[in-house]
A and B are shown apart, each in its own frame.
Chain A
Amino acid sequence: MVKASIEARGDLRLTRLTKTYGDFTAVDDLSLTIAKGSFFALLGPSGCGKTTTLRMIAGLEEPTAGSIHLGETDITTTKPYQRPINTVFQNYALFPHLTIFENIAFGLRRRGKSDVKEAVEKVLNLVELPHLAQRKPTQLSGGQQQRIALARAIVNRPALLLLDEPLGALDLKLRRQMQIELKWIQKEVGLTFVHVTHDQEEAMTMADTIAVMNEGQIEQMGSPADLYDNPETAYVANFLGQSNLIKGTISGNDGDSQIVDLYGQKISLPKSRSHAVDSSTYAGIRPEKFRISLLETPVKGNVLSGGKIEDVSYIGVSTQYQVEMPWGQELMVFEQNDDGVAPFKKGDAVNISWEPTFTFGLRGDEDATAGSEVAPEVLDEE
């Protein structure tokens, strides 16, 4: 039994996984398959259940209901030390009384591996810190400790590597660098990575597949581009980047598109990107997809007229506008500063246009602000 679980390999399968603490449901009937060799991210704000899910996979929490399979092996109740799974902990959790070498060798020694020295040196080279082998963890910087924590986990060649907000304690610049390194190391060693984070940019940079979690459930799962371009719920639309959501009514069909009436102005929305369940809908457009033009300039595609520039923020690479529409809503528009055209001024009367294929449609009964109060940037980068 012990042998069997430690040798388990294959896809990770969570089936109807639930974890409750008293009245509080941290993870709610979650089912999910993570393919072997992939870089998977669980993304969501604090308290969404992502860390609890990770801890159940690691064996540090016991599920209230449901099962966890690795390949064909059921590991739901297997002890952490009998699972071929290693974790990079949020605060690294290096052993303060052991040298870096012994920290990394810990897992190998417990399993009685030979060639410990060789394996440790190899992984120290991989994380580019071979000169620190004889130091103690407290003598290392945060970034170095992070890499040692990673080395300590991957040296065991686990079937699954779990990363619990591993970059949370690093400053922004170091984090960007580590994101690229982590991705590179994952390709290099070919392990399955499951990464938990509340930083949408981090998840999008690194993961092949992202599952956005909210209140213990998966809100939407897909590639970063899928989630960004075609969000299915207001929560995902607002949590990953920013969105303009405009209330409307589906008034007809035109081939592969729906015609949507937004406060009296008709726009077109591809049917494949519409998630509405009845005629009421929210039309969603990302701020950078909008184009602003003066009233006399002819425009193609979807057009909303009657806008007035309310606010202009020049931020170098782009200019951000707040445009007030006739129905009182302020839309956000990001224009790249790449055409040498002087920016629009506050008070200009403008039209807003965009490619119809960039439009996505959400259910009309949604809360249009869901997910926006927990903007990850605010939580994180201050």
Chain B
Amino acid sequence: MRKIRTPYLLLLPGFAFLFTFFILPIINLAQTSTQTSVVGGDTGQYEQTLRFANYIDAFVENKEQFGRSFLYAILATLLALAISYPLAYAIAFKSGKYKNVLLVLVVAPFFTSFLLRTIAWKQILGEEGFVVPTLRTFGIISESTTLTSTSFAVVMGMTYNFLPFMTLPLFASIDRIDPRTLEASGDLYANGITTFRKVTLPLSMPGVVAGTLLTFIPAAGDYVNAAILGSPNTKMLGNVIESRYFKVVDYPTAAALSFTLMAAILILVTLYIRKAGTEELV
């Protein structure tokens, strides 16, 4: 008897924690999402009326931010993948004795606060930073173009902030590839590009899937980058939820938007995993 009970006892703290800080808030959020304001009540006073139309209203009002959230998240994910793949590959196969040093450097930004680093990007992309004058010198952007408060800045900030989440799973996956299978591919008449397409990439797919999910999911719900590096024209859903909740005190709309975002991410991720076919991979 004692033996059977032990695993449940071990599960208890984790379950209690998740129940209190995840399940209960979710239920609370669900309840809030169908409330309406009390007629003649104070600001922020709501009652349960099971008004599911809240969802439709919230979505219709914020279509644009919805689309932007997913567009930015997808762009940032693709950019992070394009930067991280060669980086992870080089660390795994070409870094020799510097492998551990480079891995520490990948996570080194975490030693500084997320907010601070994002604010730093404002400096980097600002008029007094080195990026804008350099680009102007080479005529890549015109004299009047600025980089702050643009979609570009927001996507760059997101890419930068989520880069380690892409690099680490990719590295773990690529590092596990036996370099002899790559030699075998060359030995069997595959050139570099074909070897990448037929051997390296398929073998690193678990890392690609994990990395893109770890980047895309938080990126889609992010609001810090849009708030600091963007403008009212680059608002993402996270910013809307934040302002509805804390500024407008419109709890039901904020809750409905949160749920809609969650559902949308869940559907997209499910489709993606189906398509990438992770269960087929080693």
Chain A positions near chain B (C-beta within 8 angstroms): 6, 58-60, 79-81, 85-87, 89-91, 93-97, 106-107, 110-111, 136, 138, 152, 156
Contacts and interface: CB of A to CB of B under 8 A. Distances in A.
A97 B189 contact: no
B282 A89 contact: no
Nearest to A162: B187
Interface string B163-195: 000000000000000101101111111110010
A93 B190 contact: no
A138 B185 CA distance: 18
The majority secondary structure among interface residues of chain B is helix
A87 B188 CA distance: 8
Q: Which of A79, A86, A97 has the most CB of B within 10 A?
A: A97
Contacts of A60: 183, 186-187
A93 B203 contact: no
B203 A81 contact: no
Nearest to B178: A93
B186 A79 contact: yes
A332 B277 CA distance: 64
Nearest to A102: B198
B189 A96 contact: no
B187 A97 contact: no
Contact of B187 (A81, A91, A111): A81
30 contacts: A6-B189, A60-B183, A60-B187, A79-B186, A80-B183, A81-B190, A87-B184, A89-B180, A89-B184, A90-B180, A91-B180, A93-B178, A93-B183, A93-B184, A94-B181, A94-B184, A95-B199, A95-B203, A96-B181, A96-B282, A97-B202, A97-B203, A97-B282, A106-B198, A107-B189, A110-B189, A110-B194, A138-B282, A156-B188, A156-B189
Contacts of B186: 59-60, 79-81
Contacts of A95: 181, 184-185, 199, 203
A97 B186 CA distance: 16
B176 to A, nearest CB: 10
A127 B187 CA distance: 21
Contacts of B10: none
A94 B182 CA distance: 10
A156 B282 CA distance: 27
B281 interface: yes
Nearest to A112: B189
A79 B178 CA distance: 20
Interface in B246-282: 281-282
B184 A81 contact: no
Given A97-B202, A110-B194, A80 B187 contact: yes
B191 A81 contact: yes
A85 B194 CA distance: 18
Nearest to A87: B187
Contacts of B203: 95-97
Contacts of B183: 60, 80, 87, 89, 93
A111 B191 CA distance: 11
A80 B253 CA distance: 62
Q: Which of B181, B188, B189, B202 has the most CB of A within 10 A?
A: B188
Interface in B45-63: none
A95 to B, nearest CB: 6
A152 to B, nearest CB: 7
Contacts of B198: 106
B180 A106 contact: no
Given A80-B183, A93-B183, 13 more contacts: A79-B191, A81-B187, A81-B188, A81-B190, A86-B187, A87-B184, A89-B184, A95-B199, A95-B203, A97-B203, A97-B281, A106-B185, A106-B188
A206 B180 CA distance: 25
A8 to B, nearest CB: 14
Interface in B197-243: 198-199, 202-203
Given A89-B180, A93-B183, A107 B281 contact: no
B183 to A, nearest CB: 6
Q: Which of A85, A90, A96, A136 has the most CB of B within 10 A?
A: A96
A352 B131 CA distance: 90
B246 to A, nearest CB: 49
Contacts of A80: 183, 186-187
Nearest to A152: B188
A86 B281 contact: no
B97 to A, nearest CB: 15
Nearest to A6: B189
Contacts of B181: 93-96
B189 A81 contact: yes
B53 to A, nearest CB: 49
A2 to B, nearest CB: 10
Nearest to A149: B184
A58 B178 CA distance: 18
Interface string B89-132: 00000000000000000000000000000000000000000000
Nearest to B189: A110
B202 A111 contact: no
Q: Which of A90, A93, A136 has the most CB of B within 10 A?
A: A93
Contacts of B199: 95, 97
B57 to A, nearest CB: 48
Nearest to B182: A93
A59 B282 CA distance: 29
A106 B190 contact: yes
A3 to B, nearest CB: 13
A86 B188 contact: yes
Contact of B188 (A91, A110, A136, A138): A110
